[in-house]
Every structure is written in C-alpha cells, then in structure tokens.
Amino acid sequence: MVRMIRSFPRRMIGQPFRRTRWNTRGATSECRIVEGSPGCDALRLSEIVIQPVAIRALQAGLETAKSTSMILDLANPTRFMSFSGRLLPWLIGASVVLLGIGLAMVWFVAPADYQQGETVKIMYLHVPAAWLSLFFYVTMAASALGTLVWRHPLADVSQKAAAPIGAAFTLICLVTGSLWGKPMWGTYWQWDARLTSMLVMFLIYAGILALWRAIEEPNRAARAVSILTLVGAVNVPIVKFSVDWWNTLHQPASVFRLGGPTIHSSMLVPLLVMAVAFTLIGVSLHLSGMRTEILRRRVRTLTILEAERLDAQAA
C-alpha cells in the first residue's frame, strides 16, 4: 500500500513521525512515512513501520538514504519483496538439487552401520531436522529482539514465518528419532534429558503458534510473542548441552565438538550435504513465508481502508 500525499512541507522533515501527526484518516496506526526529500512536495507512505535508522536517514534527506547500506535497503518491505522474489527461485532450485544429491548419497553411497545396519540412515533426516529446529528458534529469538528493540516490521514478519517451520522441524526430529529409537533402544520414547528437552521445545513452539493466533492485531501479537520467544530461549542451550550435562541414553554430540567429528567421513559427507539441503529448504520456506505474511498484511490494511472508505461514504 503506497499513497502519495501532496504538499509535503519542508519543516515537517525533521519532525518525529508519530502516528497521530502523519496519520491520514484511513490508514490507521500502521501507516508511516517511508520516503520523502527535503522540500519536496510528496512522500510515500507504507503500511508497515520502518526502523528508526531509516527515519533518521529520511531526516537527513534522501541523498544519504541512498548511500546507506544494503541492510537498510532490505529493511524496506518493498525492496525486500523484490529482492526475495528474485532470490527465491534460485534458493528453491538449489535446495531441490542438493536434496536430490543428498538423498542419492544416503541411499547409494553411505554405508550401513556395522551395528545398526540400514536403520542408521534415519540419522540423515533426524540430525539435520534437529539442527534446524534450533536454528529456527535462534532466528526467532533474534527477530524477537529486532521487534522489541528496533520495532522493525520485517522482524515481526520473520518471527511469524519462522515459527511453523521450526515447529515442523522439531516434529520431524521427534518422529524420526522415535522411529529410530524403536529398533536401536527397543523403545519409541525414553524420558531422558535430550528427548524431554526437545519435547519441551515442541511445546514452546506450539505455545508461540497459539499466541500468534490468539491476538488479532499483528503489531501487538508480534510484541507479545517476542517476549514469550525470548523467555523460551532459555531452552535452547538446555537442548544443545543436555547430552553433556546429563548422562543420557541419547548419544553425545559427534559432529560439532572439540577435537573434530567422531563419525567417519563416508557418513559425515552425506550428513553435511543433507544438512545444507535442509537449511536451504528451511530458508526458502522462511523467505516465502515472510513474503506471504507481508502480502497478507497489505491485504489486511487495504481491507481496513476499504471498510473505512465505505463507512465514510455511508455516513
């Protein structure tokens, strides 16, 4: 949603852009100034809040805004949309190719374990899913900081898009782990520290998803969820180090550890390929989730505007 406002007075450039001052009646509280040059007679409004850095750049005039960094460019949802739109097909292509290569390696190249037989191949799904469940939680926590500290609109969007993906990877990790546990440990489930902390992680993800749905207004939902996300971040190190702190049935870390990985390269290489493939899939899903969310918010703003317009007409 972009609208032009005519006769933009020069003296307003230095003003703080509070919602009351620059609110056109229809645009509700989500409307902020995006671009404008000193002395110009027009400025663009977007429905999504921009970060303070961008406002400061705006105050200094468009010249400096143009010279600021790439990050600032992406901070603008419109630029993010065009950039991610160009990037996404490549990401999807790369993840499909890598997933193909990875699965082929797992199927034909990776050897069966001398103790576990073919069931060891569950590992190639289980381990990357576990990594990514943590990865997306960390992404969410970082975005939550972005939401709370900088009130950044893309941070809200990134947070919201990451939650279901992270939850899905956590579920994949739990399910594959459980299927792997039956032949190896003789049980689908064991209440040991790693498994339990992972289950708690899934519950936290579920709580976050529930809270997103419970609060209707996107900005308020984002702030509420970010607090919950940051409190829940306590669980991330617990999941990671549970195998070191407690004596568990789950094996300790064997890839990222001091002194190098303890698994043989014939298994490590397919595992890493799968991990990269999963990461690319996750990032593609995340980006397209963010795009969908941005579009959804635009639709929401347009709907509100339309409703208010009809309202004004009727009155």
Residues that bind other proteins (CB under 8 A): 148, 196, 200, 203-204, 206-207, 210-211, 214-215, 220, 223-224, 227-228, 230-232, 234-235
Nearer to other proteins, 83 or 202 (CB): 202
Nearer to other proteins, 30 or 35 (CB): 30
To other proteins, the closest distance from the beta carbon of 237 in angstroms equals 13
Tokens 């489930």 sit on residue: 189
User: Are the beta carbons of 280 and 98 closer than 8 angstroms?
Assistant: yes
Q: Select from 180, 1, 18, 200 the least CA-distant residue to 81.
A: 1
To other proteins, the closest distance from the beta carbon of 29 in angstroms equals 12
To other proteins, the closest distance from the beta carbon of 222 in angstroms equals 9
Structure tokens at 28: 């509700």
Nearer to other proteins, 8 or 202 (CB): 202
Nearer to other proteins, 84 or 159 (CB): 159
Nearer to other proteins, 105 or 198 (CB): 198
Cα–Cα distance between 232 and 201 in angstroms, integer?
8
Considering only the C-alpha atoms of the chain, give the largest distance between any 2 of them, rounded to a whole number of Å: 79
The torsion angles phi and psi of 276, rounded to 5 degrees, stand at: -65, -40
Q: Select from 48, 17, 33, 46 the least CA-distant residue to 219.
A: 48
In the DSSP assignment, the letter for residue 149 is I
